Amino acid sequence: MSHGYVENKDELLKRLRRAEGQVRGIQRMVENDTYCIDILTQVSAVTKALEGVALALLDDHLTHCVAEATAQGGAVADEKIREASQAIARLVRS
Amino acid sequence: MSHGYVENKDELLKRLRRAEGQVRGIQRMVENDTYCIDILTQVSAVTKALEGVALALLDDHLTHCVAEATAQGGAVADEKIREASQAIARLVRS
Amino acid sequence: MSHGYVENKDELLKRLRRAEGQVRGIQRMVENDTYCIDILTQVSAVTKALEGVALALLDDHLTHCVAEATAQGGAVADEKIREASQAIARLVRS
Amino acid sequence: MSHGYVENKDELLKRLRRAEGQVRGIQRMVENDTYCIDILTQVSAVTKALEGVALALLDDHLTHCVAEATAQGGAVADEKIREASQAIARLVRS
C-alpha cells in the first residue's frame, strides 16, 4: 500500500538531506569552538526545519491515509484517527 | 451543525475554567511578589493544560468533522483537511 | 528581596488579565458551539501570549536575580543558574 | 576565548552525531516507503534530541559565558543576557 507522502518523496528527501547537512554543520561549529549563541541559532533552525518536514508528512497522511480510512468507516477509520492524534500530540510536546 | 466536541463539552469547559483559575492564580503570584521561578513553573503548567485542551479538541475534530467530510469526499473533504493541517501547524509553532 | 520583574509588574499583570479574558472567551466559544478550528485558533493565540509572559519574566530574572547572584559567585550563583536552566527546559518542553 | 561548552564538547558531538544518524535513518524510512506515523515518531524523537542539545548548550552558556560577563557587570553583562534571552525565545518558539 502506498502512503500519502509518495507524491512528495523527492521533496521530503531533499529537506531531510538539508537537515542532515545542518546537523553536520553544527558539529563543525562545536569542533571549531564557535560561540554558543551562534550554535543555538542553528539548532533552532534545524529543529524548525524538521518540524516543517513533520507537518508536511502529517498533511499527506491526513489527506490520503486518514481520508481513505474514514471513507471506509468503522474500526479502520477509528484506528487511523487515533494514531494521527497521538502523532500530533508527540509533535506538539516535542 | 453540531461539532465534534459537543459530547465532551462539559469536560472541555471544566478544563478551561481550571486554566482560567490558574491564570488568575499567576496574577496573584505577581501581585504578591512571588519568586520568578515559581511563577514560571505555573505558566508552563497552564500552557501545558491549554495544549491538552487543544489536542482534545483536535481529536474530536478529526473524529467527527474531518471524518464526516472525508466520507463525502471532494472539495468539502479537501477543505476540512487543509484547515486541520493549518490548525496543527499553529499548535506546533505556538 | 524584590524580584527582577517588579519594574514590569503592571505590564505583566495587564498581559495576564488579557490572557485570562482570552480563556474566558474560549469558554464562551465552546458554550456557543463555535466551530472547532476557530476555537483552536484562539487556544494557540493564548498559549503564545502566555509564552510571551514567560519569556519576559525569564528575561527579568536573568537580568536581575541571576546577574546579582553570579556577581556574588559561589553556590548561590550555581543554584540560580541551575534553577533558570530547569525553568527554561520546562518552557521549551511545554 | 573558550566557551562554556568546551568541557562537554565530546558529549555534545556524540549527541549531534547520533542526531545526524537519526536524520539519515528517517531518509531511509522515506526511501523504503515506511508508514507515515512511524516516520513521524522518529522526527519527533530527533527534534526532542536536538532540543536536549540546545538546553545543554544553554546551561553551559549561562554557567560560564553569562556568569563571567555578569561578574564584570555593565554593558558586557547586559549584552550577554540580551543574547541569551533571544536564544531562549527562539528555542521556545521553534
**Closest residue of chain C to D72, computed from CA coordinates:** C71
For the stretch C37-46, pLDDT in tens is: 999 999 999 9
Reported ipTM: 0.90
Residue B93 has pLDDT above 90, yes or no: no
Instruction: State the best of D1, D16, D51 to mutate against chain A, taking most chain A CBs within 10 Å.
Output: D16
| Separation CA C78–CA C82 (nearest Å) | 6
Output b/e per residue, B13-49; b: 16+ Cβ within 10 A: bebbeebbebbeebbebbeeeeebbebbbbbbbbbbb
Structural domains in chain B? 9-93 (1.20.58.1000)
Residue D4 has pLDDT above 90, yes or no: no
Residue A55 has pLDDT above 70, yes or no: yes
For the stretch A3-19, pLDDT in tens is: 788 889 999 999 999 99
Q: Are C91 and B44 in contact (CB under 8 A)?
A: yes
Q: What is the pLDDT of residue B1?
A: 54
| Separation CA B7–CA A88 (nearest Å) | 21
A28 interfaces chain B, CB cutoff of 8 Å? no
Closest approach of chain D CAs to the CA of A81, in angstroms? Answer: 11
Element (H, E) at C91: helix C74-93
Instruction: State the best of B51, B61, B62, B64 to mutate against chain A, taking most chain A CBs within 10 Å.
Output: B62
Chain length of chain A: 94
Residue C1 has pLDDT above 80, yes or no: no
Confidence of residue D71 (pLDDT cuts 50, 70, 90): confident
- Are the Cβ atoms of A43 and D57 closer than 8 angstroms? yes
Confidence of residue D1 (pLDDT cuts 50, 70, 90): low
Average pLDDT, chain D: 93
Element (H, E) at B31: helix B9-31
Residue A45 has pLDDT above 80, yes or no: yes
Segment A58-85 mean pLDDT: 90
Query: Helix crossing, C36-61 with B74-93: angle to 10°?
Result: 10
| Separation CA C24–CA B65 (nearest Å) | 24
Residue D24 has pLDDT above 90, yes or no: yes
**Could you tell me which residues come within 8 angstroms of residue A90 by beta carbon, excluding any fewer than 6 positions away?**
D40, D41, D44
Percentage of the residues of chain A whose pLDDT score is greater than 90: 74
For the stretch C60-77, pLDDT in tens is: 999 999 998 988 888 998
Nearest to D24 among A12, A20, A39 (CB): A20
Q: What is the pLDDT of residue D57?
A: 95
Q: How far is CA C6 from CA A25, A36, D91, in A?
A: 41, 30, 25
Kindly report the three-state secondary structure assignment for every residue of chain D: CCCHHHHHHHHHHHHHHHHHHHHHHHHHHHHCCCCHHHHHHHHHHHHHHHHHHHHHHHHHHHHHHHHHHHHHCHHHHHHHHHHHHHHHHHHHHC
A55 interfaces chain D, CB cutoff of 8 Å? no
Q: What is the pLDDT of residue A13?
A: 97
Task: Report the 10 Å Cβ neighbour count for D14.
Answer: 11
- Are the Cβ atoms of D81 and C67 closer than 8 angstroms? yes
- Are the Cβ atoms of A88 and B91 closer than 8 angstroms? yes
Q: What is the pLDDT of residue C4?
A: 80
Residue C32 has pLDDT above 80, yes or no: yes
Average pLDDT, chain C: 93
Give the burial class of B77: count Cβ atoms within 10 A of its Cβ; 0-12 exposed, 13-18 middle, 19 or more buried.
Answer: buried
C-alpha cell of residue A8: 512528495
Segment C73-91 mean pLDDT: 91
Nearest to D57 among A2, A5, A40 (CB): A40
Residue C13 has pLDDT above 60, yes or no: yes
Q: Are B77 and B84 in contact (CB under 8 A)?
A: no
For the stretch B2-13, pLDDT in tens is: 678 888 999 999
Residue D78 has pLDDT above 80, yes or no: yes
**Closest residue of chain A to B59, computed from CA coordinates:** A85
Residue A61 has pLDDT above 60, yes or no: yes
DSSP summary character for residue B64? I
Instruction: State the best of C11, C13, C43 to mutate against chain B, taking most chain B CBs within 10 Å.
Output: C43
Q: Residues of A with CB below 8 A from B89's CB?
A: 55
Q: What is the pLDDT of residue B13?
A: 97
| Separation CA B30–CA A44 (nearest Å) | 30
